[in-house]
Each structure stands twice: as structure tokens, then as C-alpha cells.
Amino acid sequence: MINIQLLHYELEQAGLPVEGVSSDGRIDYSRELIAQEQITADAVVAAHDPEGDLPKNLNKKDAEARFLLSQLANKTPQEIYTQMQGRMDNWSSLADAKSDLREWLPLIAAVIALKVID
């Protein structure tokens, strides 16, 4: 078991060019690691504690950044609802729905986290 957000953070803190961590343990990097980086990555993964927590201020900063960079940042709740409803009305397939949900759910989670953390 891994904590994907925490492992991503730990790999970044180790200076590795991590792009993503998957729940199945796959780690994607922006380029192939050199030998020393691979040793570092292996050590970070070995030391990873899935029960650990991200620093609280990092969670808040991440939530704020996601929100401020989103299309939702300067909208009222009614405008957000209207925009989301308009997008949902245009779904013609499950693929369209999945694409929008992949974009919107992290933003919604970031907004909720931002409100809860404050």
C-alpha cells in the first residue's frame, strides 16, 4: 500500500523529476533516471510510510494553488453551478463525462479542502 500524494511529495523533495505516482505503485518521471537518481528513488520508496501525512501547510498551499489557477477562482457558487451544468448538458458519451470529471473533481476537492483547512 502507498500514499500516492505523500510519495509524490517525498520524491519531489528528494529532487527527482517525478510526474506522477499511481496507486498500483507505478512512478512516472519526466525523463529516465540516471543511476544515482534511481538509487535515491529506491531509497525514498523503501522509506515511504503510507500512514504518514503531508505537511499541513503544503495541503493548504496546494489547495489554494489548485483553486486560484482554476476556472472557478473568481466565480460565485451560482456561476460555478451554471458552468458545470452547461458542461454536463453537453455530454454525449461516457468518455465526455469522464474527461470533464477528471478536470472538475480535483478542483472541487481543492475548493472543499481550502475551506476546511482554513
Q: Which residue has the cell 528528494?
A: 14
- For the chain, give every domain's residue range: 4-47, 56-117
pLDDT digits 0-9 by tens, 59-115: 666 666 666 656 666 777 788 788 778 878 888 888 888 877 877 777 777 667 666
pTM summary value: 0.51
Alpha-carbon distance 105 to 56, whole Å? 21
Residue 91 grid coordinates: 455530454
Q: Which helix (H) or strand (E) covers residue 20, if one does?
A: strand 18-21
Q: How far is CA 115 from CA 3, 45, 60, 63, 110, in A?
A: 23, 32, 9, 9, 9
